[in-house]
Amino acid sequence: MARPRQFDEQNAVTAAADLFWRRGYNATSVRDLGAELKLTSSSLYRTFTDKHTLFLRALDHYRATESAAAEQRLDAAGRPVRHVLRDWMLWLVSCPPDGESARGCFVVNTATELGTADAQVSQRTEAAFEVTRQALRSLLHEGRHNGELPIDLDIDAAVELLFTTVLGLRVRERAGHDRARLATAIDAVIQALGATSAQPS
């Protein structure tokens, strides 16, 4: 059976990303994908080669949209860096709409499920993580330069602390932990950055 004439490949990748995000790689079958994308197995294989290839494209799609959103939210644009950090981390653990289960982060979920067993997947998850680290590093440098953060702040160590906290927040979000408790952790880690510097560096 041929693909429908109105078939949109990018829309199919978006739908596949949503399904993989909800279920994970191993729990999503080719039959599940066919039903979600409204494609027969033969059409799906003809378009995307196999499930693994489609998963990589879905992961790339998510990374592109998620990375853009993270970079935008971590752009201080004249706002205090601590406020930017807090708002961003709270946004990461925002409660899902009524009736929906928290999904966490597709990249974090994938790294947790597949680890380093799949080199192509591992390369993508690490690249996504590095985008977040670099955005955090840039924001912290700005805060130190503007005197909002301590002059002697160890930027590399602070990035790792914040990044590790973010990964933990995403896992706890998916586990359905109370948002108020997550906010408490967020406030504590921001406080751990130290007092405001007296003079800009």
We report the CATH number of the domain holding residue 37 as: 1.10.10.60
Q: CA-CA distance, 73 to 176, in Å (whole number)?
A: 23
Tally the domains of the chain.
2
Identify the CA nearest to 142 among candidates 72, 83, 201: 201
pTM: 0.85
pLDDT above 60 for 189: yes
| Domain end among 32, 58, 84 | 58
Based on the fold, state whether residues 96 and 180 are members of the same structural domain: yes
Mean pLDDT, range 47-65, rounded to an integer: 94
Q: At 198, is the pLDDT very low, low, confident or very high (cuts 50, 70, 90)?
A: low
Based on the fold, state whether residues 14 and 42 are members of the same structural domain: yes
Can you give the pLDDT at residue 100? 60
Based on the fold, state whether residues 92 and 187 are members of the same structural domain: yes
Mean pLDDT, range 10-36, rounded to an integer: 94
Identify the CA nearest to 53 among candidates 62, 43, 44: 44
Structural domain of residue 21, as residue ranges?
6-58
Q: CA-CA distance, 38 to 12, in Å (whole number)?
A: 9
Element (H, E) at 191: helix 179-191
Q: At 144, is the pLDDT very low, low, confident or very high (cuts 50, 70, 90)?
A: very high
Can you give the pLDDT at residue 96? 58
User: Is residue 69 in a domain?
Assistant: no
Can you give the pLDDT at residue 87? 94
User: Is residue 198 in a domain?
Assistant: no
